[in-house]
Amino acid sequence: MLRLSTAQPDFDKAFARLVRDRRESDEDVAHDVARIIEDVRTRRDAALVEYTNRFDHHSLGDPDEWAVSPDQCRAAFDDLKPELRAALELAAQRIAAFHQAQLPADRDETDEVGVRLGAKWRAVEAAGLYVPGGRAAYPSSLLMNAIPAKVAGVERLVVVTPTPNGKVNELVLAAAHLAGVNEVWRIGGAQAIAALAYGTQRIRPVDVITGPGNAWVAEAKRQLYGVVGIDMVAGPSEILVIADGANDAEWIAADLLSQAEHDPAAQAILITDDPVLADTVADRIGVELAMLPSAKVASESWKEHGVIIEVASLDEAPALANALAAEHVEIATADPEALFAQIRHAGSVFLGRHTPEAVGDYVAGPNHVLPTGRRARFASGLSVLDFMKRTSFIALDEEALKAIGPAAIALAEAEGLPAHARSIEARLGI
C-alpha cells in the first residue's frame, strides 16, 4: 500500500505516476485477442467449441450445452428463496425506474423560414450482454445491462456468460428471466464477443455489446468497435473515498475493500485531511481482511494498488479526484455537496457517510457499469442511450429552399463540389 502526503516534496511526481498507472491489458493480450477474433470470424462455431473446451473446460456438444432455455431461467427464478427473489425484484424495479427517466424525447419543429427539423430516437434491434462467470458471477451486472436495453426498446437481448466446468450460476439465470432476456449462451471470453459481433452458425450477430469482463473481453470490445457498438472499454474496478476525521474507520476500510475484492488489479484510494483516520483505516484494513472470504484477492489489490493520501485540507481533494477521474467516488464528509460541486470527472458519486458505494452496485438505481482508467474524463456510465441511436430529419418546401438554398450553393462551390450546388440550383431554376 502506498502512503502519500501533499506536504512531501516529491508529491507531484509520485501522484503523477499514480495517475498514469493504467493497470490494464498489455500488447500480448491485444495480440492474442486479435487472433481469437479472426479465428471466430473464420471458423465460427468450430472455434467457439475449441476455445470453450480449452478455457472453460466445458464441451459444446449437444444443443443443450450451447444455450440455456427460457424454461431453465424461469425455473431458476421460481426456485429462489423468497428474500432473494424480493431483493432481485427490488433491484430490478429501481433500475427500471431510474433508466425510464433517461429516455430521450423526439424533436419535430419548424423554424422561422419554414424548414422542418427534428430527430427521432430508436432502439437498436439486438443487444449482446456480457455477464462474467469466471472469478465471480454477477446477476446484478445482468440486471444493470439488460434492464436499460429493455427500457430503450431493444427487441432481442442476448446474454453470453462463461460456465466454467459446465457449471451454470442459477442466480444469473434467475436475473435473466426477471429482465426478459431472450437468449443465454454458455460461452465467454474474447471468443464470445467475436461471436456476438460477427455471428456464427448458431448465434446471430447483434448491434451493440455491453457489459464488464476481464482484460480479454475488454480488449475484444475495443478491437471490434465499429463492427458493433460498445458501451465502453472497462478496466479494473476503482474506488476513491474522500473522508474527514469524523468517519468511522471500520466503515471506510470496508468501503475500500468493497472494490479491492473484485480483482487483484482493482484500486482503492483514500484521501483524508486527518492523519489519525489515515493510520486507523490502514490498521483496520488488516482486521477487515481477516474476516473476508475474498481476502486473497482483496489483500493483493490493497497491497499492490491501495493508496492513502493525506492532504492539509479537503479543499485539495477535488483537484486530486479530477485528475484520477475514478470510477466510484465516495464523499464521506459533513457537507458532501460542497466538494461534489467541484468534482468534474467521476463515474458515479456517493454522497454522505451513509451512502456506501456497494448500495449503488445493487439497488440504488443508477447504473453500476461505469468508466474506469480515467475514462470518466470523457465517458459516462451505461444508460438507455447506449442502446439507442438518433436519426435526424429535414423537410423543406419551395419557399424554405429559396430562403437557405443560395447559401448552400455558395458553400458547395467554395468547397469545389459542383454537383452539390447543381442539385440545389436545379430546384431553384438557376
3-state secondary structure of 356: coil
DSSP state of 228: B
Query: In whole angstroms, what separates CA 258 from the centre of its chain?
Result: 17
Spatial distance between the Cα atoms of 421 and 411, rounded to a whole number of angstroms: 8
| Residues tagged active-site | 327-328
What is the DSSP track for 371-405?
--TTGGGT-----GGGGEEEEEEEE--HHHHHHHH
Task: Give the count of beta carbons closer than 10 Å to the beta carbon of residue 401.
Answer: 17
With residues binned 3-state (H G I as helix, E B as strand, rest as coil), the percentages for the chain, rounded to 5, are: 50, 15, 35
What is the DSSP track for 19-87?
HH------HHHHHHHHHHHHHHHHHTHHHHHHHIIIII-----SGGGTEE-HHHHHHHHHTS-HHHHHH
Give me 405's grid cell: 438554398
Contact 266, 259 (CB under 8 A): yes
DSSP state of 103: P
Q: Where are the beta strands (DSSP E) in 222-360?
A: 229-230, 238-243, 267-272, 307-310, 328-332, 348-351
Spatial distance between the Cα atoms of 105 and 410, rounded to a whole number of angstroms: 34
Give me 314's grid cell: 479537503
Phi, psi of 406 (to 5 degrees): -60, -35
For β-strands 328-332 and 307-310, DSSP reports them as: unpaired
Phi, psi of 5 (to 5 degrees): -140, 135
Strand order in the sheet with 156-160: 67-68, 183-185, 156-160, 126-130, 208-210, 229-230
Task: Give the count of beta carbons closer than 10 Å to the beta carbon of residue 74.
Answer: 15
Query: In whole angstroms, what separates CA 150 from the centre of its chain?
Result: 16
